[in-house]
Every structure is written in structure tokens, then in C-alpha cells.
Copies of this chain bind each other. A is one copy, B any other.
Amino acid sequence: MSTQIAFIGMGVMGAPMAGHLLAAGYPVSVHTRTKAKAAALIKKGATWADSPAAAAKGVQMIFICVTDTPDVEAIVLGQGGIIETARKGTIVVDHSTISPAATREMADKLAAKGVTLLDAPVSGGDIGAKNATLSIMVGGDKVAFNKVEPLLKQIGKTITHCGGSGTGQLTKLVNQILGSVTLMAVCEALTFAHKNKLDLAKTIDALGAGAASSWQLMNLGPKMVAGNMRPGFMIDLQQKDLRLVEEAADESQTSLPATSLVHQLLTAAQAAGHGRSGTQALFKVMERLASLH
């Protein structure tokens, strides 16, 4: 008999991820705050559960994909949370990007009940979720990791066991530092180019093959040039992740001056109404500083 699983969170990430597991033949019970978001999956054979506790009842693995630390804490430890029904030996896989410190605390509380928590945040966005090409960074017990790996392969392409509990979250935060500061490089470079009347598309072509190149330049640069601010990855969510970075940097006493600068300038982007725009809207802030609009 196939492993019984629960999937909690039917957002733009969770819904397609749960869909891949269902399509691979795993019986899935689902729960999410807004039941309507689970309708498509229920139609395909998933079972609705009225609470995380109900979803978790009798399953071997529980997947979570929600937004922030308090959301996961409520699902795991709150009233009607999975800690009420999850049995000994169950593995909880948290795909949300949340605090590494809070992750370790929850892992300890679940371990006291014989339940293993793996932190498994993802990158690759809604397109990666749809195409099952996500990168998944996993922290926690290696034996549990080996058990869930075949299921993770249904939703992701690059799957890394990073180390003990919290290291998946920490690795995701490294990803967010890289992404946001590299984004800043692209914004300053293209603003300088624009202010000096260079042809921006030609500039990206001229530099894209060399030491200046990055995913951010090649993928978000053309969107900046075209004035296409649709997300991709929303600034409001990037800011949530950078707050997690700053918190973890404080705790570990790591000085991150460039990351802090980007976090502040993304606040300016939010003030300009770009919270729900893609992260490339940071370009609008830099252009405004240069009085280009």
C-alpha cells in the first residue's frame, strides 16, 4: 500500500506540489484556510480535512507549504494542530520559508512525541512548482530524509540534504541574500546605463556572457528594460524573507551591510506601491533616485 500523506497549504506553491504527489499515486488528505483553493485537487481525488489535526490523522508523512513562521507554528502546535493527532514515526516536511530558530524549537517539541520535522524550503517559484523543477533544501534527520526523498523527487529537481534541523532554512536564507544583493547589482548597473543613455538591451547582451552575468541579470534585466513588473517573486515576500535573514544574522552576529541596504530600498519600493510587484520593481526605486521618472 502506498504511503498515506497529508498536504497543508494550497497556495500558488502548495497546490501544484500536492498535485504532483497525488498524480504519482499517493493518497493525499488536504487542508488549507480557504477550502475553495483545494477544490481542483479534491476533484482529482484528494480528501478534504477540516483541520491540520484531521489531515494528519493516520498518515505517515505530512507536508506543509504556507507563508510565515506563525502560520507553521499554528499548524504544527496550535489548537487543531498536527501535534494533536500525528503518531510516532510520522515525518513532517515543512516547505515554507520560516525562521531557522523557530524550526529547531518545533523539531524539539515534535521529537518529544516521536515525530520528525524536516525543514525543506524550496526555490524556483510558481513555475518551478508547476513544472516540478524546484530546488529543495532539506535540514533534519538523514534517515527521515531518505524516506521522503522519493516523494521530493516528484516535486523538485535539485534536492540537497544540508545537515541538521534548521540547515534547510539557513540555506534558503543564503539563497535570499544572493538573490537580493545580485538583484541590486542589476538595478544599479542598468540605472547607471540608463542615466548615461546606453542602449539597455544591447548592454545586457554585451555583458551577459562574462564575469558580470547572473540569473538576475539575464531573467529580470529584460523585464526591467521592458517595464514589466509582474511577479515572479513578490517584493512583499522577499521582504518577509529578508526579515528572516536579518533575524538570523542578528542571532549569529553576522554583519550583512549590503543585504540590509537592499532590504531598506525594497521598503522604498513598498512605499511606492510595489509590494505586490515582482522584485525587479527595485529598479523603479533606483531610477527614481536618479530622477529618471
Contacts and interface: CB of A to CB of B under 8 A. Distances in A.
Nearest to A167: B198
Given A181-B188, A211-B216, A262-B258, A253 B291 contact: yes
Given A160-B206, A214-B216, A215-B211, A192 B245 contact: yes
Contact of A207 (B171, B205, B261): B171
Contacts of A249: 192
Contacts of A182: 181-182, 185, 212, 214
Interface residues of A, number: 72
A203 interface: yes
A255 interface: yes
A178 to B, nearest CB: 4
A143 to B, nearest CB: 19
A267 interface: no
Nearest to A138: B206
Top 6 nearest A-B pairs (CB, nearest first) are A181-B185, A214-B214, A178-B212, A160-B206, A255-B289, A177-B189
A93 to B, nearest CB: 17
A171 B259 contact: no
A228 interface: no
A34 interface: no
B258 A195 contact: no
Contact of A206 (B171, B186, B203, B207): B171
A115 interface: no
Contacts of A39: none
Contacts of A123: 207, 210-212
Contact of A178 (B174, B214, B262): B214
Interface string A196-222: 111100110111011111111101000
Contacts of A137: 206
Interface in A237-283: 245, 248-249, 252-259, 261-262, 265
7 contacts: A137-B206, A158-B209, A178-B212, A181-B189, A195-B253, A196-B252, A258-B262
Interface in A132-189: 135, 137, 157-158, 160, 162-163, 167, 170-171, 173-182, 184-186, 188-189
A193 interface: yes
A290 interface: yes
Contacts of A235: none
A170 B85 CA distance: 63
